[in-house]
């Protein structure tokens, strides 16, 4: 029969063994993640990538309720010093409820830009970058964001191809080819990164930009479903490495990987989606030197946005 001292020694040995195994596991995972990230950077090491410089620091505001609001800015960089934002979204992650929400902000919304006169929303980024866009969203919609992520469309193509080499399944609703760099036929099919980007950017139909935004949201949902699979979770560090040259953000690399990992390991929450301006919540107008714009019914849209996010 074991004495109390012998049992204590046995328990201590088990504790030491468990701790040693835990340390080995952490080292293996860390080593694997570091290697995958490095492999990702090698894929895109020849890329020119994004190299925007902005005069003003990004002064994001952290949410008091534990949610993370990120301003996603999509650009089609072709070497210009300045570029208008092609797509703008607010992505919200609520870790407590395991909820992901995406708000698409139409680029032709007619807004007051602080320090300037009224322009289309996407002009704010062109004028001074992410901070002025953040201020514009705050002034017009009374919504704060904590971080921004500036994403070149080339990153999207490369990340999709790294995540899903055989393509991402999408039900293409109509033939598409005009001004998207690819030709797509109707029907359920697996699209490569380039094809998926073309599908998300198509707007030469009766729906115009509203149809484009709807397809962008559909594509995000499809890619997310791939990413939350075991295969996607394993590839997360590599995806971050692949995209790194094409991303500028206020987040550190560790914060990007932490947020990505939390979302991927959360169980794959459904994405809730909203488009601003809301349906039947705007009028159209045209101004000299600016062109056609969307003029929201502000009270209705602000109420819908706050109710959705808060």
Helix (H), strand (E), coil (C) string for 285-300: EEECCCEEEEEECHHH
Residue 200 belongs to domain with CATH number:
3.40.630.190
Task: Give the span between the Cα atoms of 221 and 212, in whole angstroms.
Answer: 14
C-alpha angle 112/116/120, rounded to 5°? 50
Which residues partner with 147 through β-bridges? 70
Query: Strand 99-105 to strand 271-276: parallel, antiparallel, or no bridges (unpaired)?
Result: parallel
- Burial of 215 by CB count in 10 Å (0-12 exposed, 13-18 middle, 19+ buried)? buried
- Name the pTM for this structure: 0.79
CA distance linking residue 42 with residue 94, whole number of Å: 33
The DSSP call for residue 245 is G
Q: Structurally, how many domains does the chain consist of?
A: 1
Residue 38 lies in a domain: no
Within-domain flag for 84? yes
Cα separation, 213 vs 17, whole angstroms: 54
Determine, yes or no, domain membership for 16: no
Whole-number Å distance between alpha carbons of 212 and 218? 10
Residue 33 falls inside a structural domain: no
- Does residue 17 belong to any structural domain of this protein? no
CB 213 within 8 A of CB 250: no
Q: Which residue spans within the chain are E strands per DSSP?
A: 68-75, 87-94, 99-105, 110-112, 118-120, 147-152, 168-172, 187-191, 247-249, 271-276, 282-287, 291-296
Q: How far apart are CA 54 and CA 245, in angstroms?
A: 17
Check: CB of residue 206 under 8 Å from CB of residue 174.
Answer: no
Question: What's the CA gap between 256 and 63, in Å, rounded?
Answer: 17
Q: In a 3-state reduction of DSSP, which class is residue 112?
A: strand
**What's the length of the chain?**
310
Please report whether residue 42 resides in a domain: no
Per-residue pLDDT of the chain (310 residues), as tens digits, is 556 666 666 665 655 544 444 443 333 333 434 444 445 555 555 555 667 788 889 999 998 888 999 999 988 765 555 666 788 999 998 888 878 899 999 999 999 999 999 999 999 999 999 999 999 999 999 999 999 988 888 778 888 887 788 999 999 999 999 888 899 999 999 999 899 999 998 988 888 889 988 998 888 888 877 776 656 556 666 666 666 777 888 887 777 767 766 666 555 567 899 999 999 999 999 999 999 999 999 999 999 999 999 8
Mode of pairing for the β-strands spanning 282-287 and 291-296: antiparallel
For residue 134, tell me if it sits in a domain: yes
Find the domain containing 121 and state its range.
68-309
Burial (Cβ within 10 Å: 0-12, 13-18, ≥19) of residue 134: buried
Question: Could you tell me if residue 48 is inside a domain?
Answer: no
- How far is C-alpha 266 from the geometric centre of its chain's CA atoms? 17
């Amino acid at each position: 029969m074991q004495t109390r001292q012998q049992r204590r020694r046995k328990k201590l040995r088990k504790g030491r063994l468990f701790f040693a195994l835990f340390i080995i596991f952490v080292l293996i995972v860390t080593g694997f993640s570091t290697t995958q990230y490095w492999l990702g950077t090698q894929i895109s090491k020849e890329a020119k990538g994004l190299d925007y410089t902005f005069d003003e620091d990004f002064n994001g505001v952290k949410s008091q309720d534990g949610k993370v609001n990120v301003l996603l800015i999509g650009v089609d960089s072709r070497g210009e010093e300045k570029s208008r934002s092609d797509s703008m979204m607010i992505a919200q992650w609520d870790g407590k409820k395991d909820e992901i929400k995406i708000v698409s902000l139409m680029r032709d919304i007619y807004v007051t830009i602080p320090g300037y006169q009224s322009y289309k929303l996407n002009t704010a980024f062109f004028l001074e970058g992410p901070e002025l866009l953040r201020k514009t969203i705050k002034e017009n919609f009374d919504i704060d964001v904590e971080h921004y992520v500036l994403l070149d469309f080339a990153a999207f193509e490369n990340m999709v191809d790294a995540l899903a080499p055989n393509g991402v399944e999408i039900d293409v609703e109509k033939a598409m080819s005009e001004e998207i760099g690819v030709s797509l036929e109707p029907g359920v099919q697996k699209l490569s990164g380039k094809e998926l980007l073309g599908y998300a950017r198509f707007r030469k139909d009766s729906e115009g930009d509203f149809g484009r935004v709807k397809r962008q949201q559909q594509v995000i949902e499809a890619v997310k479903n791939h990413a939350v699979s075991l295969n996607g979770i394993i590839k997360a560090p590599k995806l971050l490495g692949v995209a790194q040259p094409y991303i500028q953000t206020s987040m550190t690399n560790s914060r990007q990987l932490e947020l990505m990992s939390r979302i991927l390991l959360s169980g794959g929450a459904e994405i809730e989606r909203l488009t601003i301006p809301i349906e039947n919540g705007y009028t159209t107008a045209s101004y000299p030197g600016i062109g056609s714009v969307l003029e929201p019914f502000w009270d209705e849209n602000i109420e819908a946005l706050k109710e959705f996010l808060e």
